[in-house]
Amino acid sequence: MKRLTPVIILVFVLLSINVAYSQNDGIVPKPITATIIAKGTVLSPISVSTTRDLDFGEDILPGIDRVIDKNSNSAGKFTIMGQPGKEISITMSLPVELISGEEILPITFSATDAGYKIPSGSMVDFDPFNPVNAVFGSDGSMEIYLGGTAKPYYSQAAGMYDGTVTVVFYYTGN
């Protein structure tokens, strides 16, 4: 019986191998694979140039408001370039006064003192205190305009006053 035990074990092992191979006929299946490409295109950056400063003029009279319409040649103007057909956000940071040394000249902006325009389009008014979204034209350009009102006091000191208007542009993803 001692001699039969190794023979039985050998027969059992051979039968087990045969059963394992007979289940898949000895063919190992090949894996199925597929691939895709991961890709993306980065938009061209927005570029901006200051075309014209907001100019209340050199002859402001004390006590008399000076109004500059956004459509006038004295309105502030920015020219921007970006990806055609893409939406951007426009946000303005506006001064509440112009400064000359220690003197101040109050200025105000109304809800329609800002506007944007794409080539061969009409002016679209917007409130300069609230961000607005706009879409670049087919050539990727746009102009931003800003008017406002200088409100000199009756006792306003003579001098050259100035302040800074900052405009921020960025793509919205739309």
Question: Greater confidence, 11 or 49?
Answer: 49
pTM of this structure: 0.77
When pLDDT is averaged across residues 2-27 and rounded to a whole number, the result is 54
Residue 21 reports pLDDT greater than 50:
no
Return the closest-CA partner of residue 79 out of 173, 169, 171: 169
CATH level 2 (architecture), domain 47-171: Sandwich (2.60)
Residue 134 reports pLDDT greater than 90:
yes
When pLDDT is averaged across residues 94-110 and rounded to a whole number, the result is 96
What pLDDT, on a 0 to 100 scale, did the predictor assign at position 173? 81
Q: What is the C-alpha separation between 8 and 55, in angstroms, rounded?
A: 107
Residue 27 reports pLDDT greater than 50:
yes
Q: What is the C-alpha separation between 60 and 96, in angstroms, rounded?
A: 17
What would the two tokens of residue 141 be?
Answer: 């350009």
Encode pLDDT of 36-57 as tens digits. Answer: 999 998 888 999 999 999 999 9
| 9 membership: H or E segment, kind and range | helix 4-24
| 78 membership: H or E segment, kind and range | strand 76-81
Query: Would you list the domain boundaries of the chain?
Result: 47-171
* 8 A C-beta contact, residue 97 and residue 106: yes
* 8 A C-beta contact, residue 153 and residue 140: no
Mean pLDDT of the chain: 88
Q: What is the C-alpha separation between 134 and 1, in angstroms, rounded?
A: 95
* 8 A C-beta contact, residue 136 and residue 124: no
Residue 85 reports pLDDT greater than 90:
yes
When pLDDT is averaged across residues 132-145 and rounded to a whole number, the result is 95
What pLDDT, on a 0 to 100 scale, did the predictor assign at position 64? 96
Residue 17 reports pLDDT greater than 80:
no
Question: Greater confidence, 41 or 98?
Answer: 98
